[in-house]
Amino acid sequence: MERILNSAAIQRTLTERGITQKQLAEAVEISPQAVTNWLKGKDFPRPASLLKLAITLGLTFDQLVQKSESGRPVIAYRKKANVKTTAAHLAKAESVGMLLKPLVAHLPELQALRTLITSPSTDYDKLQTAVSQTRNRLGIGEAAILGYEHLIGEFKDCGAVLVPVLWGAKGNHENALHIRLPQEDVTFIFLNLDTRLEDFKFWMAHELAHVLTPNLSGTDEGEDFADAFAGALLYPKACAEAAYHAATRHAKADGMIGVLAGQAGAHTISLNTVYLQVQQYAKATGRLPLSLGETAIHALRNSRRGPLVSEALFDPMPPSPQCYIAAGENTFQTGFFLALKRMIVEGGTGAAYIQQVLDTPLQDAMALYEELRR
């Protein structure tokens, strides 16, 4: 379907702001006739001009462009309990996705042949098979402790671009954002470094599941599989089996919880993840579940929280722009900042673009801009 601008929204914004079409053309650095053609649906802006138009008018791409399923970003938010993703979340994420489109041309060449899970299933045995295959690719054993560093190369091999961000303490859906651009065949994954390490590892494993199952991104089925995959990848059957037998040697709940908590600490994962994986192992193998209530598990989990990833990476906090960019390029092996630098140098992109894409304060965006344009 051919894309056209939302002329009504543009005209309304021009009127509200007291801007003429000629002034708009000057701001976007194109001819007044080009603006006329856009508004009449005879032509559509190039990505760079579309970006300038959005910034000039203060409109999101969802407001600026007539909706069309073809080429629209696919957004995947992790579900959390009964919390629902709001329309505002999706609209904001889609806008970021549209902003990312002109950046794609500046990215380093991405891997063409990628690993996929062709028949994703939450069935216990099938899920464990998928997890085993993933761990084999990562070069770690069935019972080995999985660090988030192990996952970074897998994202890169699957055509996903990691974007580490510093968003402060967040909740619900906001610690990771998955944006897939179907036409460009690129996935951007924003990861909030201001997250506890045990949660950060789960988020990364969850997002990897989305990357391995792109056709399920943005669906409830995809979210269910991603959650199941993340838990099993971090604490697979071999670990759950050993923990189950160790826990059942204790007659009292405190002893059982002590075993699970010890495993959570050793693997640097959530106590809740260990508990769920052990209970799922018991159910799948026909054994009695541990006689533990989730209330006690959650209470202990919330009282024992690990350090923030940002605190482990940066000292002192907050990091300088140079340190932050270096961590992105070296620790997370991302080409995002290099592409951003190319876009700034070659296309004249300004700090407002960084502010919108990274959802960061203007002062921080300006500091990053000055570092990147050197």
pLDDT in tens, 269-325: 999 999 999 999 999 999 999 998 888 787 777 666 778 999 999 999 999 999 999
Mean predicted lDDT score pLDDT of the chain: 89
What does the pLDDT average to over 33-61? 84
What does the pLDDT average to over 250-265? 94
Q: What angle do CA 111, 233, 301 make, to 5 degrees?
A: 130
What does the pLDDT average to over 2-28? 84
The Cα 281–Cα 285 span in angstroms is 6
**Per-residue pLDDT at 37 exceeds 80:** yes
**Per-residue pLDDT at 143 exceeds 70:** yes
Question: Any idea which of 2-11, 142-151, 234-243, 246-255 has the lowest mean pLDDT?
Answer: 2-11
Identify residue 208 by its one-letter amino acid code: L
Question: Any idea which of 26-35, 167-176, 194-203 has the lowest mean pLDDT?
Answer: 167-176
Confidence at 1, pLDDT banded by 50, 70, 90: very low
Beta strands at 176-181 and 186-192: parallel, antiparallel or unpaired: antiparallel
End-to-end CA, the chain: 40
**Per-residue pLDDT at 173 exceeds 60:** no
The Cα 124–Cα 143 span in angstroms is 17
Preceding amide of 45 cis, omega within 30: no
Confidence at 13, pLDDT banded by 50, 70, 90: confident
Of the candidate CATH numbers 2.60.130.10, 3.20.20.220, 1.10.260.40, 3.40.640.10, the domain formed by 1-70 belongs to 1.10.260.40
Q: Is residue 213 within 8 Å of 222, Cβ to Cβ?
A: yes
Residue 150 to residues 181, 198, 370: CA-CA distances in angstroms? 25, 14, 32
What pLDDT is attached to residue 368? 97
- Per-residue model confidence as pLDDT tens digits over 326-340: 999 999 999 999 999
Residue 282 or residue 172, greater confidence: 282
For the chain, give every domain's residue range.
Answer: 1-70, 73-234+304-374, 237-303
Question: Any idea which of 37-46, 185-194, 251-260, 320-329 has the lowest mean pLDDT?
Answer: 37-46
What does the pLDDT average to over 166-195? 87
Confidence at 342, pLDDT banded by 50, 70, 90: very high
Q: Is residue 244 within 8 Å of 281, Cβ to Cβ?
A: yes
What does the pLDDT average to over 131-140? 95
Question: Any idea which of 35-49, 59-73, 344-358 has the lowest mean pLDDT?
Answer: 59-73
Task: Give the rounded distance of the alpha carbon of 229 from its chain centre.
Answer: 16
Portion of the chain with pLDDT greater than 70, in percent: 93
Question: Any idea which of 67-71, 129-133, 355-359 has the lowest mean pLDDT?
Answer: 67-71
Instruction: Using the structure block, give the residue that is written with the tokens 């045995």.
Output: 125
Q: How many residues does the chain have?
A: 374
